[in-house]
Structure 1
Amino acid sequence: MFNKMKLWKTSKDQDGQDDRISQILAHPIPDHVAIIMDGNGRWAKKRTLPRIAGHHEGMKTVKKVTKAANKLGIKILTLYAFSTENWKRPKTEVDYLMKLPEQFLNSFLPELIEENVKVSTMGDMDQLPVSTRRAVDHAKEKTKNNDGLILNFALNYGSRSEIIDAIKHLATDVKKGIISEEDIDNECFSTYLMTKSLKDPDLLIRTSGEVRLSNFMLWQLAYTELYFMDVLWPDFSEEHLFEAVESFQKRSRRYGGLLGEEIQ
């Protein structure tokens, strides 16, 4: 009797989720969603567990959210996995974080391939351990021909460093005569950033209740819709992603202008 009731409840829940997804799909979907995955350490502390337990649980959340984003037809999902500032954390924690990409990609890669997901990265990969780079490169190679959701990991990424490097390369090209100062505008500058092949995020989600950007995609987020949640990342679910997208769909994106009826 219990098993039958549980099966009925699961089926009913699935039907309800399918209906919700259908309603979401009836409205514009953000092409590019970026997420600052925050709260792993606090999740573990609340349960008197080591911080690495929170990171391990957070890895499971990445799998769930990737699948949910794919269901919605989101084209790009960028996840802030490791910042240039994260090197300041205790060595044991950093060492574990460096193992996570390998663990995640080795276990999840067959599903990513099956779901037509393409793995991408941005950040200074040269500073990462060889084993981490090898796992990431392998996943990128195996999924390079996929043309579905782009799962873009920000690894050893910092926006200020990205902008400074872009300025240096731009200045070098001006000096070499490859471009002129008159050529420099927003579009030109964007081609020198790590996201040059991606459109800017439409929606940024940050978990854990913190309300700041933490040196993440500062140039690219100029007109992005921001959504902050009190949920810790390991507790973030498909439903939370749906909630964020539904909030996005209710907003009017003006890009510094006025609504149509206000323009004279």
Structure 2
Amino acid sequence: MSAAPFTVLIPARLASTRLPGKPLADIAGLPMVVRVARQAAQSAATQVVVAADDARIVQACAAHGVTALLTRTDHASGSDRLAQACDLLALPDEAIVVNVQGDEPLVAPALIDAVAALLRARPEASMGTAAHAIDSWQDFISPHVVKVVLDAQGLAHYFSRAPIPHARDQAEGQAWWQQAPLQRLAPLRHIGLYSYRAGFLRRFPQLAAAPTEQLEQLEQLRALWHGHAIAVHVTQQAPAAGVDTPQDLERVRALLGHG
């Protein structure tokens, strides 16, 4: 059975507090957003489109053969930008869209395919995403590592920056999930890759922001708050790190042979 067709959309915003001009940062001779698009093009996507907030991003993409759309500059979030992109592309409501972040030049094409396939396999889900087992106590307690707990059906139960699930009877600093009886509860790192049906993506910005979303600063909690299911693909391969800081950029440049 062939995979359902899907579109990859890559939101790209020129302003970044920690790394100004991030989408256009040079990585081994190519703007970062172009590298992301080329990586995504190795997936089974029928099209890969950058949704940009600045004409300079669109021009850089065009210079390297990447399709890009100019979206409004006042979008509150990436999902708002992608909702506009769905309209600009005239995608039907049932079309599957995968949101690949514009700062993930090492994203695995197979992971994009797996997240896209979730919505075909799980018709009850409005969204799909991915996760990977956490193996370090420091990652578990870090607020920069978002955790997700699944329910019995493999749907997201909750996302948090806090260390969840919390083992009440285990000593602090102990990687309790490495003990045999508890291994099936190993905490999961959320990977910020999402699939949606275009119709839901269009409606999502109209949903009221959730109190949990505002508290945790995690937009996906809005979907859970309003009763929408999120299917989760648990990958065995640790995801490549994205680019948030100048140090991240230098690390990726080194990996890809910059200079």
Please report the TM-score for the alignment, with normalisation by the length of structure 2.
0.32
Please report the TM-score for the alignment, with normalisation by the length of structure 1.
0.32
Larger Rg: 1
| Structure whose residues are more often strand by fraction | 2
